[in-house]
Amino acid sequence: MAANLIQKLGQYISLAIASKSSGDPIMQGHLPAVALIDTDAAGKLSIDTGPAVYDLSVKAIDENGNSAVLVGDPLFYVAADTPKLSKKASGKFYGYALEAITAGSTDTIKVRLQAGGHIPQIGSFSSITSGFGIDLSAVTAASRVYADDGGEELWALGSVPDRRVSLARMLVTADQTGGHIRLASKMGHLKAYNVGWNTEQAAGVYGYLELVRAAGTVALGGYGKSAAVIGCVENSGAITVSANHILAGMAAISKMNGNLTQTGKTVGFLVDIYDNTNWSDASIARSKWAYGLYVPARAAECGFLIGDFASATAGSGIVLNSTITAAARIYADDGGVALSGGDIRAGVARLLITQPIVDTDLTISGWVGQIKVGAVDISANTSYVAGARGYVEIAAGGTVYNAAGLRATVELPATAVINTNGILSGLMIDAISLGGTHTGKASMVHIPNPLAGTWDYFLDFGSAPGAIAADTSATPGNATHKITCRIGSTDFYLIGFADF
């Protein structure tokens, strides 16, 4: 037998614990026990660490006040309380109640003390006082779990096994729809009390995927998804997501209040790059993400939803005012380098049509800008309201060649067809209804006075844009141009004079 064996099993042990009486609940560090005798003259105490069942005094309270004790409830030890045992989870886990107590009452009940069956706890809870948890000024982690592949392949064919360094799983089997609830199988919580910080990173949960190849190149191939954090939702059976409920693979929920001054940016989702200028271990330049956000076609019925649609109810969309002037913003620039290449755009909206269309009443648009004015009078606004607005701003000292606030482009290659009675146009001006009262006037084109300067031309044609008739023999006087127009199916001409 090993010479260093002290005691088999170890349920009954003797420790130096002062001033305890037989039958008292004990918490030595994180070891729950019951005193078997009074502390002796030498300051020694024999204790039972379980498994065992004892009659112990318990009070039916938790952190929020009176709370009934039910059979099977976990009980916690709070050294400053009398009695020591209650449902206060801020204490240290002690055992399980085997009898019930009405809320607010104190009673002696059977309590199960189970060795090795404790709720894991490292450190003690404190809302604002330091010293109860593991001191991270001396170590860099309160707990550590390390795992590896043992030098073996972890992959498999067919159903792939999940490999986890740790697993936290909560099973819910009772209906929980009767009231409010917050459930999490695992929670990260970082609390800053009367402190602030400047640079680097702080997070309630931090996921870190590190890719290393000592030599050569390793490929991340196939149809895999690799990420520092993955949120996955699975359902089985008939599940209904009700009208006011949101089911999400990842959620950022603001619990901020008006005391937070948002001089910087507060965002629900941030895509950024490691700061190799201001952070302590960032001497290596890092690469940008190819895309800040990617929504593949198979993944979503709608790629983006900002606000909610409402025909007449205010507050469903993003609320705009003198401070918040846009529901969405996209900013781009040239990065201080001359632009080159083909089309350069701050944004692209493209709808690809690959099948014949048989619907005779279908409007198709690459992008729609819409303003809806409800049953209200906004005529006090003598500025402008527009469903879509294009804006070219030329700074002082800037020089341009061809520029337009709005450009309309069409493409009709040699084998494409404009069908009989159809029209392909650079600009279409139509109206759903003009049946309202015209106290003012409705105009297809409105050209107000510029705020400064004047336009040089009403229209500027290229030398051969089409629609300019070459034959001016039947025109009156010294007309030099005929601009071809049509009303219904009848052609007519606008007459132009090069000089008077």
- pLDDT mean for each 10 residues of the chain (500 residues): 51 80 86 86 84 92 90 89 90 90 95 68 74 81 88 84 87 90 91 88 92 90 90 93 92 91 90 87 83 92 92 92 94 95 92 93 94 93 92 96 95 96 94 95 95 94 88 79 91 83
Residue 324: C-alpha distances to residues 309, 327, 373, 487 (Å): 19, 8, 19, 46
pLDDT given for residue 118 in this prediction: 54
Query: Please, what is the end-to-end C-alpha distance for the chain in angstroms?
Result: 124
95 CB-near residues (< 8 Å, 6+ apart): 32, 50, 74, 75, 111, 112, 113, 114
CB 97 within 8 A of CB 57: no
Alpha-carbon span 495 to 482, nearest angstrom: 5
pLDDT given for residue 285 in this prediction: 82
CB 39 within 8 A of CB 45: yes
Alpha-carbon span 73 to 112, nearest angstrom: 10
Count other Cβ atoms within 10 Å, centred on residue 493: 17
pLDDT given for residue 9 in this prediction: 58
Q: What is the pTM of this model?
A: 0.73
Domain ranges of the chain: 12-113, 457-500
pLDDT given for residue 117 in this prediction: 46
